[in-house]
Structure 1
Amino acid sequence: MTRHPIHSTHPSPQSPPCLTCRVLLVLDVQVCMLSSPKKGGVPSSETVYRNIEHILNRARSAKQPPRIIHIRNSGESGDPDAPNSPGWQLVFPPLEHEFVIDKLKNNAFAGTKLAELIPRDAELIVIGMQSDYCVRATCSAALARGNTVILIKEAHATYDRIEVWNGGMVTAAHDVESEIEVELEEAGVNLLCMSDVPHLFSDR
């Protein structure tokens, strides 16, 4: 059965030009992944929640706010992020002028209208879930289209990884996140820290 993305009630991709040429992409920041670890959230959910909230507040209050786009993953029936389930909901409610795009694949550009909202010369700031899935795939796709891509450390996260080909050993989530940062930086992504956030949305 073919699944179709849920249509958002937020602005359609036929929008005015992005005057700042800067986009904040909030990937899969959904209840199922940012709840407490005991309820299925990522191990660093508390820290990542606080950091993403801080980044969103900075972006929204900037003199020239970036275009803010929320990406929401739609899983299969029975999945924690099945459409319209509690876990599918966005943790931070989008403001009226912000965009929401639903996706079915790791690459947020695949099968969506995201490319219509992000000019190829735009600077793309990425935060969200999961480091080794949507974050990796979407950053890679953005680099391939020519975007400048920034990934904020400690504002993206994932789960522990079970190494099925290595006796079931477990690689801790923070080590997986670090691996992805190294991989993406080598590919051309710019890594910034939370200490850089105060200057992130200014004229630099």
Structure 2
Amino acid sequence: MEKLPGNTVLLLIDVQKGFDEPIWGQRNNPGAEENMARLLKAWRTTNRHVIFVKHLSVYPDSPLNKDNPGCAIKEIVKPLAGELIIWKHVNSAFIGTDLEEELRRKGYETLVIVGLTTQYCVSTTARMAGNLGFHTYVVSDATAAFGLTGPDGLDYSAETVHALSLATIHNEFAQVVDTGTVMKAL
């Protein structure tokens, strides 16, 4: 990874308390939020732009519904006054939001993406970012996945889902890197 431009945006996707609920099942990478916090601190220290994305589920019983406490962003990466929060209702942070307009208006071309969950909102946003022409990085150890059951009834561990989700975007839509690599490139 080359040196990141000074205007590289850190995009924190759906780092919400509701993902701590047991309904999601087994999760990998328990240290993801600590790595997100390390990157966030570095971004703030170097006066780089940070954007938070928050999922607002339309389902009343969802932990991510706006009326439930799980909708709140986790304290470890709590936004500061003045930091932008984009609200979305679908997997991609680009659909139904002004994220692309915000990035283009300010001339941002490089994104570093972290957050939850790897297989859904992180990878969907990374795919769209790549297709829209942004230089996109996804930080493997600052994202996490939950296990899934396939249509054939086979269970896939959180580790497998995470690894395959990253493999399907690497070198096609984004470069997959780790926290240490990003920190060295600042």
Contact 1:139 1:189 in 2 (8 A): yes
Q: Tell me the SS of whatever aligns to 2:85.
A: strand
Cα separation, partners in 2 of 1:188 and 1:141, compared to 1, 3 Å:
closer
Look up the equivalent residue of 2:146 and give its one-letter code. Y
Alignment-derived partner of residue 39 in structure 2: 55
Alpha-carbon RMSD: 2.0
Deviation at 1:102, TM superposition (A): 0.7
For residue 174 of structure 2, the aligned residue among 189, 192, 201 is 189
Look up the equivalent residue of 1:88 and give its one-letter code. C
1:133 aligns with 2:115: no
Q: Tell me the SS of whatever aligns to 2:143.
A: strand
1:163 aligns with 2:150: yes
- Structure 1 or 2, whichever has the larger Rg, is 1
Q: Deviations over 1:17-71 (max 9, x none)?
A: xx943111000000011x3x75757623631121111111111112xx2210100
Cα separation, 1, equivalents of 2:141 and 2:100: 26
Q: Deviations over 1:92-139 (max 9, x none)?
A: 221112100110011111001111221275100000011111111111
TM-score by length of 1: 0.80
Cα separation, partners in 2 of 1:104 and 1:192, compared to 1, 3 Å:
same
Cα separation, 2, equivalents of 1:69 and 1:41: 28
Q: Tell me the SS of whatever aligns to 1:127.
A: strand
For residue 27 of structure 1, the aligned residue among 10, 13, 16 is 13
TM-score by length of 2: 0.87
Contact 1:42 1:157 in 2 (8 A): no
Contact 1:80 1:88 in 2 (8 A): yes
1:152 aligns with 2:139: yes
More RCO (CA 8 Å, sep 6+): 2
Look up the equivalent residue of 1:139 and give its one-letter code. A
Cα separation, 2, equivalents of 1:58 and 1:107: 25
Q: Tell me the SS of whatever aligns to 2:87.
A: strand
Q: Deviations over 1:172-193 (max 9, x none)?
A: 1111111111110141411111
Matched residue pairs, number? Answer: 177
Specify every segment of 5 or more residues in structure 1 that has no aligned partner in the other structure, as ranges: 1-18
Cα separation, 2, equivalents of 1:41 and 1:30: 16
Query: Identity of aligned pairs, percent?
Result: 23
Q: Tell me the SS of whatever aligns to 1:174.
A: helix
